[in-house]
Amino acid sequence: MAPQPTSKPVRLLVALGVLIVGLAVWAFWPGTDSSVRLGLDLQGGTQVILKPTPVTEGAEITDEQLEQTVSIIRQRVDGLGVAEAEVTTQGSGDGAVIVVSVPGVNQDRVVDLVQRTALLDFRPVWGIYAPTPATAAEETAAPDASASPEASTEDGAEDAASEEAPADEPTPSPEATASAAAEGEAAPLVQADDNTPEFQEQVAALDCTDPLNYRGGRPDDPEKWLGTCDTTGTAKYNLQPAFIKGTNVTNANAVLPQNGVGWVVSLEFDGEGASALADASTELSALPECGTGASPCNAFAIVLDGVVTSAPRFNEPILGGSAQIEGNFTAQEARDLANVLKYGALPVTLEPVDITTVSPTVGNDQLRAGIIAGLLGLLLVAIYLIVYYRALGIVAVLSLAIAAAVLYLTFIVLSKAIGLTLTLAGVAGAIVAIGITADSFIVYFERIRDEIREGRTLRQACDSGWIRARRTLLAADFVSLLAAVVLYFLSVGSVRGFAFVLGLTTLIDVLIAFWFTHPLVVIMGRWSWMQRGSKLTGLDSGRLGGASLTGAVSKRSRRGSSTKEVSA
Amino acid sequence: MSRLGGLGHKLYAGEVSYDFVGRRRTWYIISAVILLVAIGALVFRGLNFGIEFRGGADFSLPNATCSVEDARSTAEEATGAQVIVTETASGTVRVQTEELTPAQSSDVAGILADACGIPKDEVKAQVVGPTWGAEISGKALQGLVIFLLLVTIFLSIYFEWRMALGALVALAHDLVITVGIYALTGLEVTPATVIGLLTILGYSLYDTVVVFDKVKENTRGITGQSVMTFGEAANLAINQMLVRSINTSVVALLPVVAIIVVGAGLLGAGTLLDLAVVLAIGMAAGTYSSIFIATPFLVTLKERSPEIKALQARVLARRKQGRVPTGAPTAAGAAADSEEPDGSSAPVSIDPSAAGSAPRNQPRRRPRSRRK
């Protein structure tokens, strides 16, 4: 009948103390960053949410492709020298998005950079021409434009170098970009099913000195002919349909050959790529050099996002499925070309679906308002609880304070451990959680009162009330936790941050109720001061309808003798 | 305060009893009217979706020195399209335009910043593709369906299916009212609103679970006696939980009100304020529904089951025979008075077995107090 007394309240309190100290040590370990990482809406910055879509319709995006895309974007962003940029994925499969967060504003470059698609293919060169639009049909008259043929036939190094970091391109000023955009989007890529006269005319008319035409970012259809520019706008190419797609590249590395003079890029292909390479190299290496006016000529173009990154020639047929691109590469240039080859092959296009820029002032304001609202909320709750529950109210306020401390420490620890960032939605989640956390104590305290009304002593009530309240708490918190977990795994964007905080606070609520509130109430229940039932305990007989805390006088059987009905 | 404490005792002991269950038709009608208004507003006025759902660009210019008209003409010139300009109490001018490319957006932000005399860095800009908001809410909806499925299973196991249904009805009630108020007032629906609705969902269920847990406790083994009907036991549970419900609602609403006050005072429109407004509406509706809708609805469902019908017949038969002594729970008696005009149970012919069981002396004292 009598509920089991809570065996070791002190032990539980000590356990919680150890836990908090542990968290605090982890959080404030010297030499590490002990601050809560703030989301961009709180510290200011630019956030771009990108939605990847497969280039081939109906294809699925694998987690691996997603990871590779993230690593490319991260490389690009890091290449800009932006500190603390963050690139993450949310969700998976069709619903996946990539979130790029960069502190500081006016990161137009970042936005421009990260949404660039990386679609790579290898195309045999039909002809190489001067970059300016040719009015006559004699497009082959261009070879005297010396710069481009040299680059492409001998080494391709310069072209490759130009790709190494798109950031190195002169970033157009906002005005320039805007005006360009105002004039209209870049024309669609010049592509055709066949090398028809119309297509050749279009290629001839292409102006490769116009940045819109050499900036890239327009994925090409590998099955069609392509007329395009190199990445610096110094040469124009007429390219045959791709013979190898970027997906056929299995590996690419920058290597320094032992007897060589400069860096080279070694390439390995899968079976399909190897046989295509063997065929193409046999055929192409027999052709005359490009720049002599011959069409087709001996060169293949490495096309990334619709522009030519590099156009080396074949010295000999390559039969083994592995190749080397030689040139006067610097180490950096070779590495960059290798990275383009290795990672540039993602069959994914990225569409920016949400771009948010928050100024640091606004961010700070939001954070400050969040903190003020939280503190004000806590204060109001504390006043209410203390006025209503007196001594028990103090326990409740202490519990809330400890819960807040544990939440704060957990945020720091999670910031370190898994890179958790606190967003405004998270702050809101935490403020809302004050109510749900306080409810745990309210349910428990009301239970204690009920138990006393039924004639138990305070000491008994603290335990038997807990046993009943505990079940209610666990059931109700389970529902909250379920909501948080389901939302966290199925949602994107700010909903996710909110769900995380909601789940975290629910767990902390349970922890505090079990390890702090209950043991403390049990200990207080043993104090004779509490048992005397002073007004300050919140358990005085006036509130409990005359029930006594020591069980000496019980009036519970008088129930119903003076009932009045009150209509609601 | 202490009056509330004293009331707590009286409610617990049944000395004061608000008849929530017996008057359920009244609550149903009130809720039905509110729901009709909400649904009507939703159908005829629709929701005012923010740019996150429509797609577009949004610029916030804090402490702008330009007038709304200046901002409008500047922005319309810059984008060549209609724009929406609003000014919040805190002096922030907000410009919403059609969808822009990132470069255009940066450009427009610069032009607006110049026109309004603030540095470009101060401008908060957001460009959203038209599918993004739909995707956030699509995802949230997917999560919602799965969550509801799981929670129904959980509640059916922990309580019973009728309680799960009652909780879901209360939940739907809260969500429809909240969405309806959005339709009525034309408040902008943002992703923060969606988050708020999801929180209400959690809160509403949480609140209902707490009340149902007490109902479950009060009605355990209820078919083994003939003093109290199910409705009366459930009504007692609501009354016993009333102080807790009031306290919890106050405590939950205080921080939300703090956000509204601080948010409106310091920030103007923003995620926090959006969220707080939804929560305030939803939490109020949630508290109302856990008391006035969830449990009464549960009783309606319960009274259709044969055992509960039999119990009711037994209790009423016993009362007719005048076997209820004055010492018996009057909360029960009081509730029964209003129960009878319902007509659902009064003319029930007495089941012989039930009648037979009635005279068996049941313990006077409610068994609840004897149980753990």
CATH at B103: 3.30.70.3400
Q: Which of A254-263, A275-284, A296-305, A521-530 has the lowest mean pLDDT?
A: A254-263
Q: For residue A167, is pLDDT > 70?
A: no
Total tally of structural domains belonging to chain B: 2
| Those residues with Cβ within 8 angstroms of residue A205's Cβ, 6 or more apart along the chain or in another chain | A133, A134
Alpha-carbon gap: B98 to the closest alpha carbon of chain A (Å): 14
Q: Which of B106, B128, B150 is the last residue of a domain?
A: B128
So what's the pLDDT on residue A155?
Answer: 39
Q: Which of residues 46-75 of A touch B (CB under 8 A)?
A: 49, 51
Q: Quick one: average pLDDT of B255-262?
A: 83
Evaluate whether residue B364 is within a structural domain.
Answer: no
- Average pLDDT of chain A is 73
So what's the pLDDT on residue A175?
Answer: 36
The dihedral sign for the CA sequence A336, A341, A343, A344: positive
So what's the pLDDT on residue A156?
Answer: 37
Q: Quick one: average pLDDT of A448-461?
A: 83
So what's the pLDDT on residue A80?
Answer: 56
- Within this chain, do residues B73 and B44 fall inside the same structural domain, yes or no? no
Task: Provide the token pair at A90.
Answer: 């949310």
pLDDT class of B4 with cuts at 50, 70, 90: low
So what's the pLDDT on residue B6?
Answer: 65
Nearest by CB to B210, from A172, A376, A443: name it.
A443
pLDDT tens digits, A366-410: 778 778 888 888 888 889 888 888 888 888 899 989 998 999 999
Residue B28's CATH number: 1.20.1640.10
Contact A472 B198 (CB under 8 A): no
Q: Quick one: average pLDDT of B289-297?
A: 89
- Within this chain, do residues B179 and B285 fall inside the same structural domain, yes or no? yes
In the numeric block, the tokens 């009100």 are attached to B257
Evaluate whether residue B342 is within a structural domain.
Answer: no
Q: What's the CA gap between A540 and A527, in Å, rounded? A: 15
Q: Which of A430-434, A441-445, B163-167, B190-194 is most confident?
A: B163-167
- Exposed e or buried b per residue across B151-173, where buried means at least 16 C-beta atoms within 10 angstroms of its C-beta: beebbeebbbebbbbbbbbbbbb
Task: List the end-to-end C-alpha distance of chain A, in Å, as a whole number.
Answer: 36
B363 burial via Cβ count (<10 Å: 0-12, 13-18, 19+): exposed
pLDDT tens digits, B89-108: 667 777 888 777 767 777 78
- Within this chain, do residues B176 and B288 fall inside the same structural domain, yes or no? yes
Regarding predicted confidence, which is higher, A256 or A565? A256
Q: For residue B339, is pLDDT > 70?
A: no
pTM over 0.80: no
Angle between helices A63-79 and A331-343 (to 10 degrees): 150
pLDDT class of B50 with cuts at 50, 70, 90: confident
- Within this chain, do residues B100 and B242 fall inside the same structural domain, yes or no? no
pLDDT class of A150 with cuts at 50, 70, 90: very low
Q: For residue B338, is pLDDT > 70?
A: no
pLDDT class of A180 with cuts at 50, 70, 90: very low
So what's the pLDDT on residue B281?
Answer: 87
pLDDT tens digits, A10-43: 888 888 999 999 999 988 888 777 787 787 777 7
What are the residues facing B86 on neighbouring strands? B94
Q: Which of residues 63-92 of B touch A (CB under 8 A)?
A: none
Evaluate whether residue B331 is within a structural domain.
Answer: no
So what's the pLDDT on residue A19?
Answer: 92
pLDDT class of B341 with cuts at 50, 70, 90: very low
pLDDT tens digits, A190-214: 788 888 888 888 888 888 877 667 6
pLDDT class of A178 with cuts at 50, 70, 90: very low
- Within this chain, do residues B89 and B204 fall inside the same structural domain, yes or no? no
- The per-residue DSSP string of A213-245 comes to HHS------TTSEEEEEBTTSS-EEEEPPPSEE
Instruction: Decide if A567 touches B, using CB distance below 8 A.
Output: yes
Q: What's the CA gap between A394 and A339, in Å, rounded? A: 61
pLDDT class of B40 with cuts at 50, 70, 90: very high
Regarding predicted confidence, which is higher, B363 or B351? B363
Evaluate whether residue B345 is within a structural domain.
Answer: no
So what's the pLDDT on residue A133?
Answer: 78
- Average pLDDT of chain B is 76
- Within this chain, do residues B65 and B198 fall inside the same structural domain, yes or no? no
What are the residues facing A350 on neighbouring strands? A52
So what's the pLDDT on residue B248?
Answer: 83
When scoring A353, A422, A448 by the number of chain B Cβ atoms within 10 A, the one with the most, hence best to mutate, is A353
- Within this chain, do residues B293 and B208 fall inside the same structural domain, yes or no? yes
So what's the pLDDT on residue A181?
Answer: 34
So what's the pLDDT on residue B89?
Answer: 62
Instruction: Decide if A365 touches B, using CB distance below 8 A.
Output: yes
Task: Provide the token pair at B177.
Answer: 């009212």
Count of CB atoms within 10 A of residue B149's CB? 11
Q: Which of A474-478, B87-91, B220-224 has the lowest mean pLDDT?
A: B87-91
What is the widest separation between alpha-carbon atoms in chain A? 114
- Within this chain, do residues B266 and B181 fall inside the same structural domain, yes or no? yes
Nearest by CB to B102, from A352, A429, A454: name it.
A352
| Those residues with Cβ within 8 angstroms of residue A32's Cβ, 6 or more apart along the chain or in another chain | A416
Task: Provide the token pair at A530.
Answer: 């509490």
Q: Quick one: average pLDDT of B279-294?
A: 88
- Within this chain, do residues B41 and B110 fall inside the same structural domain, yes or no? no
Evaluate whether residue B158 is within a structural domain.
Answer: yes
Q: Which of A75-79, A242-246, A485-489, B170-174 has the lowest mean pLDDT?
A: A75-79
Instruction: Decide if A496 touches B, using CB distance below 8 A.
Output: no
Contact A377 B9 (CB under 8 A): no
Q: What's the CA gap between B242 and B42, in Å, rounded? A: 32
> How do strand B48-49 and strand B188-189 relate by DSSP bridges?
parallel
- Within this chain, do residues B156 and B224 fall inside the same structural domain, yes or no? yes
Contact A362 B60 (CB under 8 A): yes
Q: For residue B193, is pLDDT > 60?
A: yes
So what's the pLDDT on residue A558?
Answer: 40
So what's the pLDDT on residue A511?
Answer: 92
Q: Which of residues 381-440 of A touch B (CB under 8 A)?
A: 381, 384-385, 387-388, 424-425, 427-429, 431-432, 434-436, 438-439
- Could you report the predicted ipTM of this complex, rounded to two decimals? 0.72
Regarding predicted confidence, which is higher, A454 or A7? A454
Q: For residue B36, is pLDDT > 70?
A: yes
Domain that holds residue B79: 56-128
So what's the pLDDT on residue A533?
Answer: 64
Q: Which of B92, B111, B128 is the last residue of a domain?
A: B128
So what's the pLDDT on residue B242?
Answer: 86
Nearest by CB to A560, from B136, B259, B329: name it.
B329
When scoring A446, A451, A463, A564 by the number of chain B Cβ atoms within 10 A, the one with the most, hence best to mutate, is A446
- Within this chain, do residues B39 and B60 fall inside the same structural domain, yes or no? no
In the numeric block, the tokens 């724009």 are attached to B83
pLDDT class of A567 with cuts at 50, 70, 90: very low
Evaluate whether residue B144 is within a structural domain.
Answer: yes
Contact A560 B328 (CB under 8 A): yes
Instruction: Decide if A1 touches B, using CB distance below 8 A.
Output: yes
Regarding predicted confidence, which is higher, B126 or B5? B126
Evaluate whether residue B333 is within a structural domain.
Answer: no
Altogether, the residues listed in chain A come to a count of 568
Q: What's the CA gap between A336 and A309, in Å, rounded? A: 11
Alpha-carbon gap: B352 to the closest alpha carbon of chain A (Å): 30
pLDDT tens digits, A455-474: 888 888 888 888 888 888 88
So what's the pLDDT on residue A402?
Answer: 92
Q: Which of B253, B286, B302 is the last residue of a domain?
A: B302
- Within this chain, do residues B112 and B155 fall inside the same structural domain, yes or no? no
pLDDT class of B13 with cuts at 50, 70, 90: low
pLDDT class of A508 with cuts at 50, 70, 90: very high
pLDDT class of A173 with cuts at 50, 70, 90: very low
Contact A453 B9 (CB under 8 A): yes
pLDDT class of B165 with cuts at 50, 70, 90: very high
Q: For residue A137, is pLDDT > 90?
A: no
pLDDT class of A359 with cuts at 50, 70, 90: confident
Evaluate whether residue B351 is within a structural domain.
Answer: no
Nearest Cα residue in chain A from B336: A565
